[in-house]
Amino acid sequence: MHPVQHFRANFTNNEVTDTASNSLTSYAVGNVELYDTESQVRNLCLVWEDGRRAFYNYAYLVSVDLVLTDNLNVMMLYFSGQIVTLKGYQLSLLFDLLVNHAPKTITADNSRYYSPDQVERSFITEILTKNE
């Protein structure tokens, strides 16, 4: 079984459908949308709380660092020329997905919507970008 399919089988997933054709387009786990099938071109789309959007090609992802703390986790994604910092909760789950380039879209939400009971999904509260 493909790792993404295995992941979907173990957790409650929200399927994303195209309302016009009512066909399945992808899967989402919390605020992280996953690729449904393997593709030659993979991009990671980031969506800020204010609606700003940006995408980065996985081909330029050099490394990822994850710092786990008791409170807020920090993940640094090192792309060629830019560093993307994600802050949030339960980011080790997202880290495991990033190893296989599975996330398609990562959306930041206000921290007031986070509940400590949400242990089965990552919750991103802040996205920062910096040019190297």
Measured CA angle at 108 (ends 103, 46), to 5 deg: 45
Answer yes or no: is pLDDT of 55 > 90.
Answer: yes
Cβ–Cβ under 8 Å, residues 66 and 75: yes
Q: Residue type for 125, please?
A: T
Whether residue 129 has pLDDT greater than 70? yes
Residue 3 pLDDT > 70, yes or no? no
pLDDT above 90 coverage of the chain, percent: 58
Residues 108, 31 contacting (CB under 8 angstroms): yes
> Nearest 5°: CA angle at 108, between 101 and 38?
20
What Cα–Cα distance (Å) separates residue 28 from each residue in 22, 60, 82, 104, 121? 16, 24, 26, 9, 10
Q: Are 9 and 1 in contact (CB under 8 A)?
A: yes
Domain count along the chain: 1
pLDDT for the residue numbered 32: 78
More confident residue, 99 or 28: 99
Note the pLDDT of residue 119. Answer: 79
Longest dimension (CA), the chain: 44
* Structural domain that includes position 55: 3-131
Q: What confidence tens digit (pLDDT) does each residue in 79-127 have?
A: 999 999 999 999 999 999 999 999 999 999 999 999 888 878 899 999 9
Residue 122: which of 49, 34, 35, 29 has the closest Cα? 29
The pLDDT mean for the chain works out to 83
**Number of other CB atoms surrounding residue 103 within 10 Å:** 22
